[in-house]
Chain A
Amino acid sequence: MNLDHTLKLEIPFEDAKQANIAVDVLKPDPILRPQDFQVSYKARDNVFVAEFESIDDRVLRVGVSNVIDSLKTIIETMDELS
């Protein structure tokens, strides 16, 4: 099966440092089923970019929603604790 269901998320942060922190925080965690789902993170200046590839809509939705949940924690932490 091809990973032909894709989605690209672009999230602007206040500055490049914050965007890079988001990338570094998300990057270490392994993907549970790499044959079904792939994700890459990068920072372009202050913009956080996540690109997802998946075998179907359902896996894509679950994977993206998990990343968004984590991003919410990261953003709240930056807002409250930096």
Chain B
Amino acid sequence: MVNLNTIPPKNNREYYIAIGLEGSANKLGVGVVKHPRLASHQSGDNSHICKAEILSNIRDTYITPPGEGFLPRDTARHHRNWVTRIIKRAIKEAKLTDPKLDIDVICFTKGPGMGAPLHSVVIAARTISLLWDVPLIGVNHCVGHIEMGREITKAENPVVLYVSGGNTQVIAYSENRYRIFGETLDVAIGNCLDRFARTLKISNAPSPGYNIEQLAKQCKNKDRLIQLPYTVKGMDLSMSGILAYIDSLAKDLFKENKKNKLLFDQETGEGLVTVEDLCYSLQENLFAMLVEITERAMAHVNASQVLIVGGVGSNVRLQEMMAQMCRDRANGRVHATDERFCIDNGVMIAQAGLLQYRMGDVIKDLKDTVVTQKFRTDEVYVSWRE
């Protein structure tokens, strides 16, 4: 029996308010979320229908020049420079007059992520917690994505595909844990796309993956895929080899290495492949691998729904391919959200943190607020589900 109403909201209100602070990678996000206290939460498995109201969702992304990735130190500096301003804007937009009285709980990302950026955000979280005398909750970043996706799409018990710059996991819920069915053995899918974008020297704004997606749309030879390694290993995948291979193709293309038979017609010397074709083939190949392991996980747990979360989840082509697979299965459905909730944000941390808070999980000693770079999805005890 799950009772989400054991902890009463502050000041005899009929609703809870949580603020979430996220900064595990190059996005800094602060969001405020409001949960009404519902009778349906007294018992049963209803944590995916909180009737959550998003009062504000502010994000600022640290964008590096084309050809460059974001480094931990510089990203941490970006977060330090912006964190108070973004918190202030989130509070103002949420129309909270007195955060000391209005906010039930402050949620922050405990991990996984880059150490220095995580640390610069937790410093601000601890300070506002002590200033306002509001309790803190540390949230697992992946669980934040999952809970936000469940709340937005109302998917009750989906297989979750979590795809972002730092993670690639296929997850299903079982006995109070989000269990990892399959994952990448080396780099994350977003990292693979980002690094290819660096090789192409295309813009990192709004995100490198978005620009690859736009280039792929302009591909004129969609019927002629470039052969790339297809590296599904059981339930897991490997992407570093694909990246190295397509990187070498792109470099040959830029250097006009006419000896490369794949890229240039050996008789006329004419180019056979464009940058758009490379982007298209890379996406098709990687996403096909994701669809394959997701489908296998669905068969394992007998699920009909898929929820795609994480930054790469906002890729429309990935959503299309997943939808096609689900259509071919009986009663299958894909749930996905748009960039506001797919890409890292503060609201998702507030959403997951507030569920934890309502189950009575709150940090009593600041020692427990230390952030950690490694924090696996299945380490979290999911008390708010049956």
Is A35 interfacial (CB 8 A cutoff)?
Answer: no
The yes or no answer to B124 lying at the interface (CB within 8 A) is yes
Nearest chain B residue, comparing its CB with the CB of A76: B84
In the complex, chain B residues whose CB is within 8 Å of the CB of A69: 77, 80, 120
A77 touches B128 (CB 8 A): yes
A80 to B99 CA separation, bound complex (whole angstroms): 13
> B369 touching A78 by the CB < 8 A rule?
no
Interface size of B as a range: 20 to 34
B327-360: contact bitstring with A at CB < 8 Å (1 yes, 0 no)? 0000000000000000000000000000000000
B370 within 8 A of A: yes
- Residues of B close to A73: CB separation below 8 A: 80, 83-84, 120, 123-124, 127
Q: Does B367 belong to the interface (CB within 8 Å)?
A: yes
Q: Give the residue name and chain of the A residue nearest to B100 (CB).
A: A82
Which residues of chain A (1-16) have a CB below 8 Å from chain B? none
Tell me, rounded to whole Å, the shortest Cβ–Cβ distance linking A32 to chain B.
9
Considering the chains assembled together, what is the distance between the CA atoms of A82 and B370 in angstroms? 23
B127 touching A74, Cβ below 8 Å = yes
Known interface pairs A73-B80, A73-B84; A28-B370 also in contact (CB < 8 Å) = yes
Shortest A16–chain B CB gap in Å is 13
Question: Is A34 part of the contact surface with B, judged by Cβ < 8 Å?
Answer: no
Which partner residue on chain A sits nearest B369 by CB separation? A28
Interface: B1 (CB within 8 A):
no
Number of interface residues of A (CB under 8 A): 19
A80 to B366, CA, bound (A): 22
A30 to B99 alpha-carbon distance, docked (Å):
30
Looking at the assembled complex, report how far the CB atom of B371 sits from the nearest CB atom of chain A, in whole angstroms: 8
Given the complex of chains A and B, what is the CA–CA distance between A74 and B131 in angstroms?
10
Which residue from A27, A29, A76, A78 sits with its C-beta under 8 Å from B119?
A29
- Are B80 and A77 in touch, CB under 8 angstroms? no
Residues of chain B lying within 8 A (CB to CB) of residue A74: 123-124, 127
A24→B84 contact, CB < 8 A = no
Evaluate contact between A28 and B84: CB separation under 8 angstroms: no
Q: Which of B85-129 contact A (CB under 8 A)?
A: 85, 87-88, 91, 99, 119-120, 123-124, 126-128
The answer to whether B367 and A25 touch across the interface, beta carbons within 8 angstroms, is: no
Judge if A40 is at the interface, Cβ distance under 8 Å: no
Complex CA–CA separation, A10 to B77 (angstroms)? 24
- Which residues from 63 to 90 on chain B have a C-beta closer than 8 Å to any C-beta of chain A? 77, 80, 83-85, 87-88
Given contacts A73-B120, A77-B131, A82-B131, contact A25 B126 (CB under 8 A): yes
Q: Given the complex, which residues of B lie within 8 Å of A80, measured CB to CB?
A: 84-85, 88
A-B contact pairs, 13 of them (CB 8 A): A25-B127, A28-B126, A28-B366, A28-B367, A29-B370, A69-B77, A72-B80, A73-B120, A73-B127, A77-B128, A77-B131, A81-B84, A81-B88
Interface residues of A (CB under 8 A from B): 21, 24-30, 69-70, 72-74, 76-78, 80-82
Additional A-B contacts beyond A24-B130, A70-B120, A73-B124 (11; CB < 8 A): A21-B130, A24-B366, A28-B370, A29-B370, A73-B120, A76-B84, A77-B84, A77-B87, A77-B124, A80-B85, A81-B128
